Structure formats: structure tokens, C-alpha cells
């Protein structure tokens, strides 16, 4: 086994060991949410899963860079301060978790899962520094953006959730009027009677206002910017355009739900509630990121990091 493979195996072993010992509670908490992805709104409001999927994908696509960094490492005691920082990052999240929550769980499911995902990513980054310190510069932007992308929606909901809920409700009300569906709107609350005479009512909450989708989009855009550099002007255009389009998509989601409820009753209304967001927002994320990738100019003959 050459040096690159040996260090990779060592990092995976160290990360797995700490995950199963110090961070078993966080791992269990994250795994417990997988069964809710298609049966609740968890998958559309919790950014850890889409962020992690893209992070793993970009890591796999840049495998050559990571392998070369592992292979170029010299000795086991080089860069001691970076290795020590790695050890601190491995232990610090577990210590903070125990200090804040003790033997119990986190205050809420979403907060707990966000903190658990952040803890595991910081621990993995720390074990990477302790094993192969030359990778600190390459992985720091990804790790930082992942953690910020997880935590920032908590503040975005408080700061923008109510306003975005009102905006989505107003736009959805206009769409339902165009569709000719008689819906009674009172702010963010709405009610209507289906074609079969069944009353249906619901509320557009801050969590359903697309604020999480905005956070996820900006985070994914940031990860792509790190992997495929473009001008700041280009990334700003995509960010502004995306933030403007996402509330329209969310309003369309609400209008489609109301139309289905009007035609098929409450079963149809709630039946598409959990997965419709996946279809709309995932298609938008993919479309936006593909469009962004086409704006990246590379010198003739230069390899793309996405095909490295």
C-alpha cells in the first residue's frame, strides 16, 4: 500500500472511530431523520442532506487532488500546530454538546440535527488535519461553508421567515385567482371548499416560506463557486436571480397544492404537500447550477475540476 492509500485509510479509520465513540448520539440523531425525508417537510427544510450530498460529490470529483495531497505528506510529526488544531476540532464539538445538552437531547429536532451535522463535519475536518495537515487549505472553505449553511437558516427564519411567508401567500393568492379557484385568504391563512364540498384550510408558516430553500440554494451556489471559480459579478447575479425566483416557486407550490385540493379533496392536498417541494426546488437547483457551470471560462485545454 503506497503512502497516499495508507493515509486515506488512516483518516477513514480515525474518523470512523471518533464517530462511533464520541459522536454516536449525533450520528443516531441524523440517521433517525432519514425515514422522514419523504413523509414530512424535513427534506425540504433541513439543508444537511443536500449539502452533504453535494460535498461528497465534489470531493469524489476532485479525488485526484485529494489523493495527491495525501501522497505528498511527509512524516507523522510535520506541521504540529495544524495537527494540534485538528485534535481540538475533533474534541471541541463533543465537549460543547455535552456542556450544552448533557445526557439529554437537543432542544428541538431541527436544531439538534443541524448541530449534529455540524459537529460531525468539524470532527471529520479535524481528523483530516491531524492525519494530513497539508489538506487544511483545500478543505477549509468547504467545511466552513457547510457549517455556516447549516446554522444560518436558523437566523434566517427569525429574520425573514414572516416576511417571506406573507410574500408567498400574496403571490399564491394571485395565482389561485388566475386559476379561478375560490380561496379565502386572511394574511398567511387560507381556506377553500373542494369541488366535492370538503372544507380545507392551512397556514403558510415561516418554515414553509422558502427561507430554507433560499439558504440551501446560496449554500450550494457557494460550494459550486469554490469548485468552479467565476467572477464575483457572475456569482452575485446568480444569487440575486435565485433569491428572486425561489419565492415564486414556493408560491407556485402552494397554488398547485390548492388546485389539487380543490379537484381531489384534502387527501390530494396533503398527499403532494411533502414531495412537491422536492420536485420544484431540486429541478431549480440543478438547472441553476448547470447554467452557472456554463459561465465558467477556462483556458483552452485546461481540465475542469468537475472532471478531474
Residue 146 and residue 198 in one domain: no
| Closest of 247, 248, 260, 274 to residue 183, by C-alpha | 260
Residue 188 and residue 262 in one domain: yes
CA distance 285 to 238: 11
Average pLDDT, stretch 257-277?
A: 87
Q: Which residue has the cell 393568492?
A: 173
Q: Of 150, 184, 215, which closes a domain?
A: 150
Q: Of 131, 150, 169, which closes a domain?
A: 150
Residue 173 and residue 300 in one domain: yes
Return all residues near 260 (Cβ < 8 A) that are at least 6 apart. Answer: 268, 269, 271, 272
Residue 136 and residue 213 in one domain: no
Q: Of 150, 184, 201, which closes a domain?
A: 150
Degrees (nearest 5) of the Cα angle 123, 227, 149? 50
Residue 102 and residue 38 in one domain: yes
Residue 108 and residue 191 in one domain: no
Residue 162 and residue 296 in one domain: yes
Residue 66 and residue 134 in one domain: yes
pLDDT, one tens digit per residue, over 14-72 is 888 888 888 888 888 877 766 665 555 555 556 666 666 666 766 676 677 777 777 77
CA 191 to chain CA centroid, Å, is 32
Decide: 113 and 33 in contact? Cβ < 8 Å.
Answer: yes
Beta bridge partners of 182: none
Q: Which residue has the cell 455535552?
A: 98
**In this predicted structure, what is the pLDDT of residue 254?**
93
Neighbours of 196 (CB within 10 A): 10
**In this predicted structure, what is the pLDDT of residue 307?**
32
pTM over 0.85: no
**In this predicted structure, what is the pLDDT of residue 170?**
93
**In this predicted structure, what is the pLDDT of residue 304?**
40
Domain of 290 in residue numbering reads as: 154-307
CA distances from 130 to 79, 182, 238 (A): 9, 62, 37
Residue 136 and residue 183 in one domain: no
Residue 81 and residue 206 in one domain: no
Decide: 61 and 306 in contact? Cβ < 8 Å.
Answer: yes
**In this predicted structure, what is the pLDDT of residue 39?**
56
Q: Which helix (H) or strand (E) holds 190?
A: strand 189-193
Residue scoring higher pLDDT (253 or 43): 253
Question: How does the average pLDDT of the chain come out, rounded?
Answer: 79
Helices (H), the chain: 3-21, 24-32, 42-45, 48-61, 63-72, 80-101, 109-131, 136-179, 211-227, 232-264, 266-271, 276-293
CA distance 265 to 258: 9
Residue scoring higher pLDDT (257 or 63): 257
Structurally, how many domains does the chain consist of? Answer: 2
Residue scoring higher pLDDT (145 or 268): 268
Q: Is the pLDDT of residue 306 over 60?
A: no
Beta bridge partners of 199: 193
Residue 169 and residue 195 in one domain: yes
Decide: 214 and 281 in contact? Cβ < 8 Å.
Answer: no
Residue 194 and residue 128 in one domain: no
Beta bridge partners of 184: 191
Q: Which residue has the cell 485526484?
A: 64
pLDDT, one tens digit per residue, over 139-180 is 887 787 777 777 776 677 777 888 888 999 999 999 999 999
Decide: 47 and 137 in contact? Cβ < 8 Å.
Answer: no
CA distance 101 to 169: 37
Q: Is the pLDDT of residue 305 over 70?
A: no
**In this predicted structure, what is the pLDDT of residue 300?**
41
Decide: 230 and 212 in contact? Cβ < 8 Å.
Answer: no
Amino acid at each position: 500500500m503506497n503512502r497516499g492509500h495508507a493515509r486515506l485509510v488512516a483518516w477513514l479509520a480515525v474518523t470512523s472511530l471518533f464517530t462511533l465513540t464520541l459522536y454516536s448520539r449525533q450520528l443516531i440523531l441524523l440517521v433517525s431523520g432519514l425515514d422522514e425525508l419523504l413523509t414530512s417537510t424535513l427534506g425540504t427544510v433541513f439543508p444537511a442532506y443536500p449539502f452533504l450530498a453535494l460535498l461528497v460529490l465534489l470531493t469524489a470529483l476532485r479525488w485526484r487532488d485529494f489523493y495527491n495531497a495525501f501522497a505528498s505528506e511527509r512524516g507523522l510529526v510535520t506541521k504540529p500546530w495544524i495537527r494540534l488544531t485538528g485534535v481540538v476540532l475533533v474534541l471541541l464539538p463533543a465537549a460543547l454538546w455535552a456542556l450544552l445538552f448533557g445526557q439529554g437531547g437537543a432542544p428541538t429536532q431541527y436544531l439538534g440535527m443541524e448541530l449534529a451535522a455540524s459537529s460531525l463535519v468539524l470532527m471529520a475536518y479535524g481528523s483530516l488535519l491531524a492525519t494530513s495537515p497539508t489538506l487544511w487549505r483545500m478543505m477549509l472553505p468547504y467545511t466552513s461553508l457547510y457549517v455556516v449553511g447549516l446554522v444560518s437558516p436558523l437566523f434566517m427564519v427569525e429574520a425573514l421567515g414572516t416576511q417571506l411567508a406573507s410574500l408567498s401567500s400574496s403571490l399564491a393568492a394571485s395565482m389561485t385567482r388566475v386559476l379561478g379557484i375560490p380561496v379565502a385568504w386572511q394574511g398567511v391563512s387560507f381556506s377553500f371548499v373542494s369541488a366535492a364540498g370538503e372544507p380545507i384550510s392551512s397556514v403558510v408558516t415561516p418554515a414553509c416560506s422558502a427561507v430554507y430553500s433560499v439558504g440551501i440554494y446560496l449554500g450550494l451556489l457557494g460550494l459550486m463557486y469554490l469548485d468552479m471559480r467565476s467572477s464575483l459579478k457572475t456569482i452575485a447575479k446568480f444569487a440575486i436571480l435565485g433569491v428572486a425566483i425561489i419565492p415564486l416557486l414556493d408560491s407556485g407550490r402552494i397554488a398547485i397544492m390548492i388546485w389539487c385540493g380543490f379537484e381531489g379533496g384534502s387527501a390530494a392536498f396533503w398527499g403532494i404537500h411533502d414531495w412537491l417541494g422536492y420536485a420544484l426546488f431540486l429541478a431549480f437547483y440543478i438547472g441553476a447550477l448547470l447554467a452557472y457551470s456554463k459561465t465558467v471560462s477556462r483556458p483552452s485545454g485546461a481540465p475542469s475540476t468537475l472532471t478531474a
